[in-house]
């Protein structure tokens, strides 16, 4: 059977950086450890004044095509996932194709282009679309480009301001992929929720605490749905579990919940019983609240066990390395987590070919999706080609005054013109407005 999955990945960060413990915390009057230890973040990436979702997406896609030696006619589909779109009709993918056509001789006139919206899960849904298109045999031997691109900015003073970010992930989806094969099995957990939304507004209305609870509830539902077709999962079955990472502290909660679920009725639960007892079972309680309280106590004890901490350090923590330095990239965030863990494998010279990932995506509103991935033979070469460390190190470190100006410059309700903090180098930049209110772009050598 044809294998289909991600053949290659490229990451493009916004060119600016906000230091959370060093610059943000003092202005907020908060302990820097709230960010580094509580939320798990050191910095957020920001777009410079000439950057937006199109430039970041096109720059990631250009690196991808250039590195893989692709021409426009090799691509049958360009899907952009974003929750930062600026047009209710014209999709971002048309702008991205327009950018790429400036640097290639050929064009994308025969490529299907779309834009996917479902909060942070849309990147994974676009992967699905590309996967299904290839599996259905409609691709004519061509590959798909999926781009997840966002400027995740919150209103000034919103609790989410600490978890901002900006960047793009471009992925090439093809037959016989070099990086990971996607499983046919997948599970969903979806419900009509109002944890985070942008009703025709730029910055989100967000109930942060509730969004954390909805994330966990939907993720658990998706895992149960996945297990209903793939069989029960066991913690040792997966080398790594990349989750959607709005901030690493969120994944800390998801990891614990997932572990408790997976060890139920296994030898791990039995071995831990002498130390912390067995998991409370609903049938043993008359009262729901007493059951919930017993579960909370069990989770608190489980979190402190060496068995859990070892598993977390091995399976989850390496997925968070990049996220700690860039913040939330919304649609790109789970794909940053996957890249992070493969980069960890490369840096530690691990033999990961054939190992499995369990990938947990989430979008507010709300939906979680779980599927498995099998790491392919070419993973090492693909990941070695990433230059994300160089990009992160080259970001301009914003002062507080810079940050206030940059946030205003990206605020659609303000008309603020500022000097860029960085100089573009071999990349697409925003180049002003056209006659129809469209955005214009050009490639800077």
Q: Which residues make up the interface to ligand COA (CB under 6 A)? A: 31, 33-34, 37-39, 159-160, 162-163, 206, 208-209, 211-212, 215, 246-247, 249-250, 364
Q: What are phi and psi of 192, to 5 degrees?
A: -75, 105
Euclidean distance between CA atoms 82 and 365, whole angstroms: 14
Residue 40 zone, left/alpha/beta (φ > 0; ψ -120 to 50; rest):
left
Q: Which is nearer to ligand COA, 312 or 428 (CB)?
A: 312
Tell which residue, 334, 372, 374, has the closest CA to residue 353: 374
Which element (helix H / strand E) includes 273? helix 267-276
Q: Which residues pair with 146 in a beta bridge?
A: 79, 171
Q: Is 396 helix (H, G, I), strand (E, B) or coil?
A: strand
Minimum distance of ligand COA from residue 29's CB (angstroms): 12
User: Which residue's CB atom is positioned nearest to ligand COA?
Assistant: 38
Q: Which is nearer to ligand COA, 62 or 215 (CB)?
A: 215
Residue 83 annotated in active site: yes
Rounded to a whole number of angstroms, the minimum distance from the CB of residue 271 to ligand COA is 26
Rounded Cα–Cα distance for residues 126 and 330 (Å): 14
Element (H, E) at 99: helix 92-103
For ligand COA, which is the closer residue by CB, 3 or 194? 194
Question: In this structure, are residues 219 and 233 in contact, taking their beta carbons and an 8 Å threshold?
Answer: no
- Which of 333, 340 has the CB closer to ligand COA? 333
For residues 21 and 31, give the distance between their C-alpha atoms in angstroms, rounded to a whole number.
8
Identify which of residues 159 and 273 has a Cβ nearer to ligand COA in the complex: 159
Nearest distance in Å: CB 211, ligand COA: 4
Catalytic residue among 10, 99, 193, 244: 244
Residue of 99, 115, 120, 193 marked active site: 120
CB 179, min distance to ligand COA, A: 26
Helix H or strand E segment including 43: strand 43-46
In this complex, which beta carbon is closest to ligand COA, that of residue 160 or of residue 167?
A: 160
Measured CA distances, 26 to 153, 161, 397, 399, 416 (Å):
20, 14, 16, 12, 26
CB of 70 to ligand COA, least distance (A): 33
- Catalytic, 120? Answer yes
Q: Which of 83, 115, 373, 382 is catalytic?
A: 83
* Minimum gap (Å) between residue 46 Cβ and ligand COA: 16
Query: Three-state SS for 218?
Result: helix
Residues involved in catalysis: 83, 120, 244
């Amino acid at each position: 059977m044809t294998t289909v999955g991600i053949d290659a990945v490229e990451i493009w960060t916004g060119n600016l950086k906000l230091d959370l413990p060093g610059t943000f915390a003092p202005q907020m009057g908060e302990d820097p450890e709230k960010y580094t230890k509580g939320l798990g973040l050191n910095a957020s990436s920001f777009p410079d004044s000439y950057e937006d979702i199109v430039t970041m997406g096109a720059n990631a896609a250009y690196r991808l095509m250039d590195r893989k030696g692709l021409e426009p006619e090799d691509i049958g589909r360009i899907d952009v996932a974003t929750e930062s779109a600026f047009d209710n009709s014209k999709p971002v993918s048309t702008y991205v194709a327009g950018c790429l056509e400036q640097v290639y001789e050929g064009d994308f006139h025969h490529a299907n282009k779309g834009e996917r919206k479902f909060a942070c899960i849309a990147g994974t849904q676009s992967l699905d679309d590309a996967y299904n298109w290839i599996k259905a045999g409609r691709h004519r031997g061509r590959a798909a480009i999926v781009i997840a691109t966002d400027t995740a900015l919150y209103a000034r003073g919103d609790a989410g301001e600490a978890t901002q970010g900006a960047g793009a992930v471009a992925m090439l989806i093809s037959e016989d992929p070099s990086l990971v094969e996607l499983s046919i099995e997948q599970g969903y957990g979806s419900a009509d929720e109002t944890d985070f939304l942008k009703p025709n507004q730029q910055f989100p209305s967000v109930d942060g605490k509730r969004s954390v609870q909805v994330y966990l509830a939907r993720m658990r539902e998706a895992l149960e749905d996945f297990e209903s077709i793939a069989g029960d999962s066991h913690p040792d079955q997966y080398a790594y579990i990349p989750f959607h990472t709005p901030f690493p502290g969120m994944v800390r909660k998801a990891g614990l919940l997932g572990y408790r679920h997976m060890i139920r009725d296994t030898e791990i639960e039995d071995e831990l019983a002498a130390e912390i007892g067995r998991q409370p079972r609903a049938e043993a309680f008359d009262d729901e609240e007493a059951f919930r309280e017993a579960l909370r106590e069990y989770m608190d004890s489980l979190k402190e066990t060496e068995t859990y901490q070892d598993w977390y350090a091995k399976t989850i923590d390496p997925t968070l390395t990049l996220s700690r330095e860039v913040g939330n990239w919304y649609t790109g965030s789970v794909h940053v987590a996957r890249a992070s863990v493969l980069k960890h494998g490369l840096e530690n010279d691990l033999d990961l070919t054939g190992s499995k990932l369990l990938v947990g995506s989430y979008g507010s509103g709300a939906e979680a999706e779980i599927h498995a991935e099998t790491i392919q033979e070419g993973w090492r070469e693909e990941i070695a080609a990433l230059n994300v460390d160089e990009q992160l190190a080259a970001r301009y470190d914003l002062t507080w005054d810079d940050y206030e100006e940059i946030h205003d410059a990206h605020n659609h309700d303000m008309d603020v013109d500022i000097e860029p903090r960085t100089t573009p180098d071999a990349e697409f930049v925003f180049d002003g407005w056209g006659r129809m209110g469209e955005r214009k772009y050009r490639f800077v050598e």
